[in-house]
């Protein structure tokens, strides 16, 4: 229980929480002795000892043997402690209109179990919640108390959210999810997991990249989430994720890039996302005399569009990549990052997507920014979305409290 009854107690509590975050963060690269933690964090050695004992008791840390002593060295060997990788775990769920994925993740970001379901009825919230509970149940550890050591469940949702209320404000892929009781409350009831949090899918990906990927230690970055027919972004500015008045991605897909262009699902016209949607691409293929390719359904057609080497498709894809590159270039000019991370399933297409898009971004961003910019694909792989959901919980474990200046 936090004792915030006096200013001295507030100071002590904040200092302890701050130091606890520093110790956990110092152990993310691997086990270390108390002395090494003291050197890395500059926290007093006696305080490190107290914090480590406290976290060993809470099962967050584990003893990992001792440093081998050099020849002729005397005294007690230095005992090593590390993050307890068999102990506390976080659950993550990522969802899009087609698939729902769940995973169980340890403190090092390793996927211990994963499960995937086809979304049965995206417009029926009760069915969606039921499927979330099914997917979560499939990744829980066996035994009498599967939720023992569960730190919580993070839901990575494509949409605009009220994270404080645990509510969806608008999710075009799940049209009725904004109705009725808040999503977090429903999932809590269906899974019996007390700590449930939600975050926008692009922000969740960025959170995973900060904890376990290429954005670790980076202060200014843009993550571009590329899925067939969908594009979003998340911004890290001066070491903090950029949040507006609502939890959403930086809505890159709704950058207006052509006045009077095609009608978008958001109600606007000429949004970037309309130019990578199947109805637009299908029409273009028909206009180019490629009715054979246009006969696919939306999912199959979009997959073909992003990977096919056929010339008609490749030239259409070049047009889409030019538009995406222009939008990302504008975002780079606006936020001046040192890193643009390409994430999502399309980032796995190196030749068809990543390499040409890098070229486009370099062309569109202002030269001084482009020269200092690294653009690369995420290395977190196909589990990045689930890891993103889990990292919404894990980031709270590793959080170093930010104290606003007054
Ligand atoms: Zn739009």
CA of 174 to the centre of ligand 1 (A): 16
Query: By C-alpha distance, which of 184, 221, 199 is closest to 375?
Result: 221
> Residue 74 CB: number of other CB atoms within 10 A?
5
Query: By C-alpha distance, which of 112, 45, 120 is closest to 84?
Result: 112
CA of 279 to the centre of ligand 1 (A): 14
The H or E element spanning position 112 is: strand 111-118
CA of 254 to the centre of ligand 1 (A): 4
CA of 250 to the centre of ligand 1 (A): 12
Measured in whole angstroms, the distance separating CA 198 from the mean position of its chain's CA atoms is 11
DSSP structure class, residue 84: -
CA of 267 to the centre of ligand 1 (A): 6
CA of 46 to the centre of ligand 1 (A): 56
Angle CA 23–102–204, to nearest 5: 55
CA of 170 to the centre of ligand 1 (A): 13
Domains located in the chain, CATH noted:
7-83 (1.10.10.10), 89-205+387-397 (3.30.420.40), 217-379 (3.30.420.40)
The bridge status of strand 230-237 relative to strand 240-241 is antiparallel
CA of 265 to the centre of ligand 1 (A): 6
- The answer to whether the beta carbons of residues 227 and 344 sit under 8 Å apart is yes
CA of 247 to the centre of ligand 1 (A): 17
User: Can you give 113-170 as a three-state secondary structure string?
Assistant: EEEEEECCCCCCHHHHHHHHHHHHHHHCCCCCCCCCCEEEEEEEECCEEECCCCEEEE
Cα–Cα distance for residue pair 90/156, rounded to 1 Å? 13
- The answer to whether the beta carbons of residues 27 and 56 sit under 8 Å apart is no
Cα–Cα distance for residue pair 212/109, rounded to 1 Å? 6
CA of 344 to the centre of ligand 1 (A): 19
CA of 364 to the centre of ligand 1 (A): 22
Give the number of C-alpha atoms closer than 13 A to the C-alpha of residue 283, restricted to the C-beta side: 7
CA of 218 to the centre of ligand 1 (A): 30
CA of 157 to the centre of ligand 1 (A): 18
CA of 251 to the centre of ligand 1 (A): 9
CA of 327 to the centre of ligand 1 (A): 13
CA of 35 to the centre of ligand 1 (A): 54
Q: How many residues does the chain have?
A: 406
CA of 196 to the centre of ligand 1 (A): 30
Cα–Cα distance for residue pair 102/205, rounded to 1 Å? 14
CA of 396 to the centre of ligand 1 (A): 32
The per-residue pLDDT for 401 is 60
Tokens of 25: 């963060």
CA of 270 to the centre of ligand 1 (A): 7
Q: Report, as ranges of residue numbers, the positions in the chain whose pLDDT lies below 50.
A: 1-2, 404-406
Cα–Cα distance for residue pair 104/228, rounded to 1 Å? 26
CA of 264 to the centre of ligand 1 (A): 5
Cα–Cα distance for residue pair 62/79, rounded to 1 Å? 11
Q: What share of the chain is helix, strand, coil (3-state, %, to 5)?
A: 45, 20, 35
- The answer to whether the beta carbons of residues 346 and 227 sit under 8 Å apart is yes
The per-residue pLDDT for 300 is 85
CA of 55 to the centre of ligand 1 (A): 47
CA of 114 to the centre of ligand 1 (A): 33
CA of 9 to the centre of ligand 1 (A): 49
Across the strands, what pairs with 118?
99
Phi, psi dihedrals of residue 167, rounded to the nearest 5°:
-120, 145
CA of 82 to the centre of ligand 1 (A): 47
Non-local (6+) Cβ contacts of 159 within 8 A are 168, 169, 170, 171, 172, 173, 174, 177, 200, 248
Q: Is the dihedral of CA 100, 102, 107, 110 positive or negative?
A: negative
CA of 98 to the centre of ligand 1 (A): 20
Task: Say how many Å lie between the first and final Cα of the chain, rounded.
Answer: 25
CA of 228 to the centre of ligand 1 (A): 15
- The answer to whether the beta carbons of residues 236 and 218 sit under 8 Å apart is yes
């Amino acid at each position: 229980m936090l004792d915030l009854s006096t200013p001295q107690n507030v100071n002590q509590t904040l200092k302890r929480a701050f130091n606890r975050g520093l110790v956990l963060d110092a152990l993310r690269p691997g086990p270390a002795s108390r002395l090494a933690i003291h050197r890395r964090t500059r926290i007093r050695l006696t305080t490190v000892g107290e914090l480590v004992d406290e976290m060993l008791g809470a099962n967050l840390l584990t003893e990992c043997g001792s440093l081998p002593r050099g020849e002729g060295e005397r005294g007690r060997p230095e005992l090593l402690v590390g993050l307890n990788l068999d102990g506390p775990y976080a659950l993550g769920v990522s969802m899009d209109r087609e698939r729902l994925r769940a995973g169980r993740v340890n403190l090092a970001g390793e996927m211990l179990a994963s499960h995937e379901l086809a979304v049965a009825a995206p417009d029926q919230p009760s069915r969606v919640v039921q499927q979330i509970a099914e997917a979560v149940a499939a990744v829980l550890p066996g035994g009498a108390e599967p939720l023992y050591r569960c730190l919580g469940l993070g839901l990575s949702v494509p949409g605009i959210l009220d994270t404080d209320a645990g509510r969806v404000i608008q999710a075009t892929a799940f049209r009725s999810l904004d109705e009725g009781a808040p999503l977090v409350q429903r999932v809590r009831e269906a899974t019996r997991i007390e700590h449930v949090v939600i975050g926008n899918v692009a922000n969740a990906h960025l959170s995973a990249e900060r904890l376990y990927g290429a954005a670790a230690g980076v202060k200014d970055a843009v993550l571009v989430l590329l899925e067939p027919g969908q594009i979003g972004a998340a911004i890290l500015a001066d070491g903090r994720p950029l949040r507006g008045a609502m939890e959403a991605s930086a809505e890159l897909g709704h950058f207006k890039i052509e006045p009077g262009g095609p009608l978008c699902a958001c109600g606007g016209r000429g949004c970037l996302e309309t130019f990578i949607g199947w109805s637009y691409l299908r029409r273009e293929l028909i206009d180019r005399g490629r009715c054979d390719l246009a006969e696919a359904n939306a999912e199959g057609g979009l997959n073909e569009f992003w990977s096919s080497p056929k010339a008609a498709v490749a030239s259409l894809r070049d047009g889409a990549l030019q538009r995406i590159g222009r939008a990302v270039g504008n975002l780079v000019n606006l936020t001046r990052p040192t890193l643009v991370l390409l994430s999502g399933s399309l980032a796995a297409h190196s030749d068809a997507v990543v390499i040409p898009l890098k070229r486009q971004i370099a062309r569109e961003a202002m030269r001084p920014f482009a020269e200092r910019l690294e653009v690369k694909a995420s290395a977190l792989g196909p589990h990045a979305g689930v890891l993103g959901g889990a990292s919404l919980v894990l980031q709270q474990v590793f959080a170093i409290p930010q104290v606003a200046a007054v």
